[in-house]
Amino acid sequence: MCGIVGMIGSRPVSPLLLDGLRRLEYRGYDSAGIATLTNGVIDIRRATGKLDQLAQRLVDQPLAGHVGIGHTRWATHGKPTEANAHPHATAKVAVVHNGIIENYRALRTELEAKGHAFASETDSETIAHLITDYLDQGLTPQQATAASLKRLEGAFALGIVFVGHNDLLIGARRGSPLAIGFGDGEAYLGSDALALAPLTNRIAYLEEGDWAELYAGKIIIHDAADKIVDRKIHITALSGAMIGKGQYRHFMLKEIFEQPAVIGDTLSALTTPDDALAMPPLPFDWKDVPRVTIVGCGTACYAGVVAKYWFEQLARLPVEVDIASEFRYREAPMQAGGVTIAVSQSGETADTLAALHYAKSQGQKILAVVNVPQSSIARLADVTVPTMAGPEIGVASTKAFTTQLTVLLCLALTAAQARGAIDAARAKAILHALREIPAQINAVLRDEHHIQELAHHLADARDVLYLGRGLLYPIAMEGSLKLKEISYIHAEGYPAGELKHGPIALIDENMPVVVLAPGGALYEKTASNIQEVAARGGKVIMISDKSGIAHVGAKTFWNIALPETDAAVAPLLYSVPVQLLAYYTAIAKGTDVDQPRNLAKSVTVE
């Protein structure tokens, strides 16, 4: 999604804005631009494609100025052309925008009728003209901004500069996040704290409807009613240095390899070394909860599907899990006393946020499982249990997913104990197995070359089917999503038991079928499905433990042997080979692994 940076101070801002944009690259974008105020005019450089194009343009035509705004655009309204790239400007203001202005057509018609000439197809340009219209009526920049914000419908984070006001930068938020950075004699705004990491560690997060005046030595924040308010300043722990790839070729690979450490960190925060839970206090008692609702998007939603099995099997607590974009509009009746769990890496996903607003309006307690503690979802929740994955830069989620699973399993075990649904020995055994997961993942990672070799065979496939049962069904869906996202190969994740009800028609000698078949109660059932696929000439890629592979009784194309583990924690372990398989298939195909086409890391618009 679009990324925003802004800066005001006494040094040239253009190189710093470009650096801020590089830190936002991971969000996904297809064009970029920077505007500064110089000699009483707005000076803009924009370019389509990667930031290197913009950087080259800045080398050819440098930008001076001590106040400016920058933007990476992920196209929504209008193609990724230079004309549609931000900043959008009139003779009086320049604007960068993240979000969608839903009433832009009506506003544009109104402004065009007044003589405003538009240069792009975007909804964002409307904001520049609207503010200009108020300036033309004699309002100050602050008044014009406040008046314009009241006319905008939809979601936005904005950065605005005004001709003739070299000492002023304005930021605003509704629906999309915006961080404000406090410097010494400088002030900044950014879509997230990461963008501002080398400039400051003192960050305030604008609340819904807030807007802020940024001056070189002062920041004034207003709420939605234009009243001056204080917002807490957080000291962020993000490193000033660019978060790097280290020895790895891609962030995704680095993040896959970080999993043993970050799962370990997450577990250390939630358990004791003697296999007991040490969860933060919750504002409800699991004993009294009649029903849990879990919402999320993409990978986060699949973590929720795994959690459904855990809560239902271990805690005997009914769970509904839904894709947030569906849940937000389906007007689900919600039971009094219910808990809604939001799962999100970024904590900014627009649909998940909207689903939570609905759940809150229905009297539900909100529990957030997020990776960014200051995110909008965390702030809306009654309680947050954070994943400790650290910044995840690769668009394809990996370590965020397995740390989400870690937190969700600990929550399910807490609920199980509170409800008396699990005996102490079984709870201890699961926690013990969970504590062994980091070491077992390390063993899988040591064997990555075996998966790398397999990926060469997968790279030519047109379609790939992933099968799993029970707790492994969501991992089949997650494996197929990973492959689609970064290798652009069509893939589907199916419950293995559904094979005979349709997908089996797809099986022929060209169809690779990845089957997740850990030991446990469902092993024999899945082994039967493997035989059905093999009997029809399908290429079975079997992921199991040594004993599972030895006893399958069917000809498989490739076997990936994982350490034996308790069936309850298998989703964590079995996530890793499907991540590696997607990664190396993408490498074999030569795609852009960390920033796959069309995808955004954090989906802050609907």
What is the C-alpha to C-alpha distance for residues 145 and 446, in angstroms, rounded to an integer? 56
Q: Which CB sits closer to ligand M6R, 95 or 481?
A: 481
Q: Which CB sits closer to ligand M6R, 397 or 529?
A: 397
What is the C-alpha to C-alpha distance for residues 588 and 487, in angstroms, rounded to an integer? 9
How far, in whole angstroms, is CA 187 from its chain's centroid?
Answer: 27
Q: Which CB sits closer to ligand M6R, 191 or 544?
A: 191
The owner of tokens 């655009």 is 73
Q: Longest C-alpha distance within the chain, in Å? A: 82
Among the options 2, 297, 301, 410, which is catalytic?
Answer: 2
2 is catalytic: yes
Length, in residues, of the chain: 606
Residue 326 beta carbon to ligand M6R: minimum distance, rounded to whole angstroms: 14
Residue 401 near residue 302, CB atoms below 8 Å = yes
Among the options 308, 399, 482, 601, which is catalytic?
Answer: 601
Provide the 3-class DSSP secondary structure of residue 16.
Answer: helix
Residue 596 beta carbon to ligand M6R: minimum distance, rounded to whole angstroms: 8
Residue 299 beta carbon to ligand M6R: minimum distance, rounded to whole angstroms: 3
DSSP letter for each residue of 80-136 = S-TTTSSPEE-SSEEEEEEEEETTHHHHHHHHHHTTPPP-SS-STHHHHHHHHHHHH
Find, among 171, 153, 169, the residue nearest to 161 by Cα: 169
Q: What single DSSP character describes residue 242?
A: P
Q: Which CB sits closer to ligand M6R, 285 or 329?
A: 329
Find, among 258, 195, 572, the residue nearest to 388 by Cα: 258
Cis amide prior to 571 (ω within 30 degrees) = no
Q: Which CB sits closer to ligand M6R, 141 or 296?
A: 296
Residue 282 near residue 418, CB atoms below 8 Å = no
- Give the nearest residue (CB) to ligand M6R: 298
Residue 166 beta carbon to ligand M6R: minimum distance, rounded to whole angstroms: 37
Q: Interface residues with ligand M6R (CB under 6 A)?
A: 297-300, 344-346, 349, 352, 395-397, 485, 602-603
589 is catalytic: no
Q: Which CB sits closer to ligand M6R, 34 or 396?
A: 396
Helix H or strand E encompassing 541: strand 539-545
Residue 26 beta carbon to ligand M6R: minimum distance, rounded to whole angstroms: 11
The tokens describing 574, both together, are 């079995």
What is the C-alpha to C-alpha distance for residues 249 and 227, in angstroms, rounded to an integer? 49
Residue 351 beta carbon to ligand M6R: minimum distance, rounded to whole angstroms: 8
DSSP letter for each residue of 208-229 = TT-EEEEETTEEEEE-TTS-EE
Residue 603 beta carbon to ligand M6R: minimum distance, rounded to whole angstroms: 5
Q: Which CB sits closer to ligand M6R, 170 or 368?
A: 368
The tokens describing 75, both together, are 């196209």
What is the C-alpha to C-alpha distance for residues 576 and 407, in angstroms, rounded to an integer? 17
Enumerate the active-site residues: 2, 601
